[in-house]
Structures are given as structure tokens and as C-alpha cells.
A = this chain, B = another copy of it.
């Protein structure tokens, strides 16, 4: 009798937020609380009559099952953490859009943790995820502190690193095959007949971006081609402008540039057009990476690599629903997207 009443003794009742509970619905419908619970539990056994009564009362009272409470004894929160920096960047935001959409379709809920700024925030983000008993954490940027691995797993949390390869046991590490893409980029520039080949990269590149660079440079070494390399700035459009300006100012002006990112590539193309009066692909061939929306814009029409986003996400979801996953590293081929920023092949294919 007493337990059914709420806050009888406390006078501070009014300051407390009132919530509608299963108890209230049960009383209103004239059934037991368990019947309410069962009504909203798929596969539970309730008669059609009581179910109807419960649903009606719930509608009237505005009742919704408290998933925070239900997570408690089901030990499945349904929450997945998305940890990322520079969320407003074209490629990153596209990734987040896709991920959140697919997670939602899979019945999960996404908790977005922004780690822009200090690198340290990734650690805090993971700790926060653990606090909310996130089923998994998908890390899009920043390297997590490996010492956290145990804490993650002792709380039954799955871990996915996208575009990172770190020493983080028990996690899925997935991303495009950056080296192969870098190699392909070089071949494409050679095939286009470029004589002076250059690389434009940011100074604070991530692991993934450095891999692209390495693939490109290694392939050049193999082919016995010299690479004019310009590195500086952030991974941004502005950096691209500056890198492009620096490269095109050289006496031995390059005629083919691989940019490790589409944003940089857009900057390079604009530097060429606005500052030097050069046009792609006639005067200059440019290749980017990511296939952001702007790559398709008519002013750029950028030849680039599309990240295998769909496959990455599919694998992510599969991993998140697997029981006891082992450490796994997956490299997926990036799709080369031919547009019109690279000179048509003067040297025939093959």
C-alpha cells in the first residue's frame, strides 16, 4: 500500500520532476504493473483485452517506457557512442550522417561525442561512453589511450577504430586501403603523362592520411620518379590554398598533384585557378581523396577516391552485434572515381 504512493513523506515533491510510470498506467487501466511491462515487451504473453486496455491508458497518460530503467536489468542500453572531432568537415559529417542513420535502422541510438580541440578529450569521451554503458564506441578520430582497453572490456563495451591502426586489443580496426590508393594515384598521374609530380599534404596528418602519402611515395620510388613534396598547415581548404600556391610558385612547376584530401585538393585547384590562371585538367592534373560533395561541384569536378563507407558501416554494425569479437583489422579497397581534374590518358592503359 505504501509503496504505491509516491513521495508521501517528502515536502519537496513539487520540485521533483513528475514522470509517468508503468504503475500509473496499471492503476488507470485496472491491471497489474507487470501486464503493462509485458504489453511493451515484444514476445511477452498478454491477452488481447488487457493489452488494449493498457495501450489506451498509456496513450491517455502519455506513458513511454523508461529505457534508462529497462537498460538496468536487461544489460543492453541500446546506445552506441560516436566519437569524432571536426564534425563539420564534409567527409566526417557524411560519415556521421550515414552511421547514425544505419544505427538507428538497426534499433540503436547514437550518442555523439565531439572531441575537437585537445587530443586528451578522446580519453574523456571513452570514459563518458563507459559511464552510459554504451554497447559500443566507434572512434572516428583521435587515438584512444590503450590503457583504457581493459576498462572498456570489463564493462562489456565493443570498440571500433575507423581509419586508425593502433595497438588497441579486442577492437575492430577498419578503413580503406590507403597505401593501395596512393599507389593508384601515382599510376594515374603517370598515365596522364605528367612529367613533374607533386604531393600536397597537411602537417598534422592522421595515420590514415600518412598511409596514403606513403603509398604514393613508395610507388614513385619503385617507378624511379621524383616527387616534389609540400607539407604544411591543417587538413583543410586553406592549407590546400597555401600548398598549391607554394607548389605552383616553384620554378619546376608540377603538372600533376596528389592531394591527400579532397579539401586540400579544392584549395589547390582554387589556387591554380584564382592565383595562377591555370585550369584543370589542361594545365594541371589533380587527384584528391574522400569524394566529398564538393568534389562533384562543377567548379572542381575532382578525380578522387571514394571511401568504402557502406562496407565500413556494414562491418561496424556486424561487429557491434557480435558476441565476443576478436581483434580484427580490415582494409577495404577505395573506389577510384574518375572525373575531370586529370588529363586524359596520353599513354594507353595497360
Contacts and interface: CB of A to CB of B under 8 A. Distances in A.
A299 B265 CA distance: 13
B75 A72 contact: no
A264 to B, nearest CB: 13
- Number of this chain's copies in the complex: 2
A154 B17 CA distance: 9
A240 to B, nearest CB: 10
A87 B96 contact: yes
19 contacts: A17-B75, A19-B133, A62-B150, A64-B130, A67-B133, A68-B132, A69-B72, A86-B97, A90-B90, A93-B93, A93-B96, A100-B112, A109-B111, A109-B113, A109-B128, A109-B132, A110-B112, A237-B297, A275-B298
Contacts of A79: 111
Chain A residues touching B, range = 35 or more
Nearest to A157: B17
A156 B20 CA distance: 10
A206 interface: no
Contacts of A5: none
Interface in A5-20: 16-20
Interface in A231-257: 237, 241
A37 interface: no
Interface in A138-196: 150-151, 154-156
A89 B90 CA distance: 8
Given A64-B155, A68-B133, A274-B298, 5 more contacts: A67-B133, A88-B97, A88-B293, A100-B113, A241-B298
A97 B114 contact: yes
Contact of A82 (B20, B93, B112): B112
